[in-house]
Structure 1
Amino acid sequence: MVRAETAPHARHLRYTLWAFTVGDNGTLGALAGAARRDPARGWQRIDVTAAARRWAAAGARAPLRLLLDCSGCGGRVRLRLGGGQAARPLLRLRLMPPPARRRRALDCDAAEHGRCCRQTYYVSFSALGWDDWIVAPEGYYANYCRGACLNYHSQVVEAARLERAACCAPVRFSALSLIYFGADSNIIKRDLPEMVVEECDCP
């Protein structure tokens, strides 16, 4: 949105605001958007969505530059592109979230043989001899990741290209709530982050 101010005697003036893209060398590019005068408001809305999409699709390597022009203004319209806070132009961006990445099957029991998956693994505090100071829980599923990320042939090619192959690794963890006796025999509750492997993939 851009603030367009007209003189009192030119309130019924008809004009159109144009926005063009500007190339790196200062050349005028494609039409980015246009808006006819809305007499109900001083702020005029120009939709530059198509230009922003083309810019993003091209890799967004250079800044997106826009040039505003007013057709039919004849010097009777002032475009406020700076100055006070109330007159600064506004660009509203609506970002679309990236598509959800499909994860491997959570558990190895349901995964294709040899593929990256989460293997359940239970840690018993009693077996470790820690049950004399850990009140709860008696143990927990720590889990770990195993399996291959690529089939054999593609893994060889990928390893040759990147000098390493992708590894099956944890991509999501959860915390473990632990209740235990402290040094002064007080009972302490603590949440230990990233103690449980929840999901595995090939990052």
Structure 2
Amino acid sequence: MGALIVDRSGATLNGQRLIEFRLGPETDSEQGEGLAVESAELLVRAETMPRRRRLRYTLWAFTVNGNASVGELAGACKRDPSRIWQRMDVTAAVRRWTRSERTRGPLRLLLDCSGCMGRVRLRLGGGQAARPLLRLRLQPPPPRRRRALVCDAANHGRCCRQTYYVSFRALGWDDWIVAPEGYYANYCRGACSPFLNYHSQVVEAARLERAACCAPVRFSALSLIYFGADSNIIKRDLPEMVVEECDCP
């Protein structure tokens, strides 16, 4: 699964603005035993003038200790001229942060730009849609038993929910969808139980004018985070995107 944590900082260190991240509502359901982070990516909006399209530079991120001193290197990335939002792998630093106690403070990072020479504007504040973002990919939680009948070999063709994963990367949509990388849409398949006897079957078929079919009876929403106009970050909850339960209505 994916989670996005938004910058909420206004602190500075030696005159340089820090970026600060705290666990947001997207990770609330995972906080019981700590987060199992598979990967972490820092997204920073870096703006250059049109005549500087060939400019080369490297972004560096350093952790900041609780005593306001510079700590370890969190990550680095060279400029990708095809993107306004530069992406940096900070997995190791985030894992150290999330493995600490739940009473820990925020994750503070100091950004440095080698080769910018004042020609690059790093958007470290301002509107919510332009602030730095920390994107986490979490290891899936252990499977939980659900009321919905999930399709398996033991169902013998009964109405059930079939797991089906939609990959945004496979669709070529990962260039504009930030999170998640995909989702389980699922669908219903299988047959409905026969009627108790012939007479009830005739009466019910006449009333419905059709036989009952296996269909979704419960859905859930999908939270989608994507780049909108002007490369701004947008979050939208799309209703009835995930089939949670199937039955014979």
| Structure with bigger gyration radius | 1
Q: TM-score range by the shorter chain?
A: 0.3 to 0.5
TM-score by length of 1: 0.46
Query: Which structure is higher in strand share?
Result: 2
TM-score by length of 2: 0.38
